[in-house]
Amino acid sequence: MPSTSWPRCGALSADSPLPDSPRLAPRAAVRLATAADARAIAHVHRSSWRSTYGGILPDAVIAAHAGRRSEATWRRQIAAGAPETAVWVAELEGDLVGFASCGPARHRLEGIESEIYALYVLQEAQRRGVGRALVSESARHFVRHGRFAFYLWVLKANRARMFYETLGGREIAEKSERLGLHAFAQVAYGWHDLTGLIAP
């Protein structure tokens, strides 16, 4: 992801006020989700579906599926706490701006046993390290459970593919699925070496 660059200051005269010190962008704080986060997670999911898939999927498909996972659905999932699964939330200055859901792989790909099921970040919070922080925390979660590789699925037409490639993900599979009458292609990105992701 691109680094932040500060504009250059012009030369200062003897009586010019000193420029304010650059204010560093706050880092994302990642923690385990609680049932109280369900409403905010549902909002991120709904909003991200619309901003991410607009222009990729038909509007009717987005409208039908953007709100499919409701607040109640997320509350039940978090409360259930299935073995080795986790829902992580990312906050910037106290606001929940992203989440990742992860756990045991639903299907074995190249022998990989772990999967990030969903990862969404509000559009206005992207390019601020939130996505990377969520991927890294998911990777640490897998390592804590003795699993040292994982994969995730992403729409083939989704620009987020470049983000996963910068994190070291490698294409390992492809499939086609349908939402209603519409077919779309998905690509799986896999990580077999988590060293770079779990480093502090």
Give me the residue spans of the domains in the chain.
29-198
Q: What per-residue confidence (pLDDT) applies to 195?
A: 95
State pLDDT tens for residues 6-50: 222 332 223 333 334 345 567 899 999 999 999 999 999 999 988
Percentage of the chain with pLDDT > 90? Answer: 68
How far apart are the two ends of the chain, measured CA to CA in Å?
17
How many CB atoms lie under 10 A from the CB of residue 40? 18
Least confident of 23-37, 96-110, 116-130: 23-37
- Choose the weakest-confidence range: 2-6, 37-41, 105-109, 139-143: 2-6
Q: Name the average pLDDT for the chain.
A: 86
Of the options 3.10.20.600, 1.20.1250.20, 3.40.630.30, 3.30.413.10, the CATH number for the domain spanning 29-198: 3.40.630.30
**What pLDDT does residue 181 have?**
77
pLDDT at 24: 54
Q: What's this model's pTM, rounded to 2 decimal places?
A: 0.84
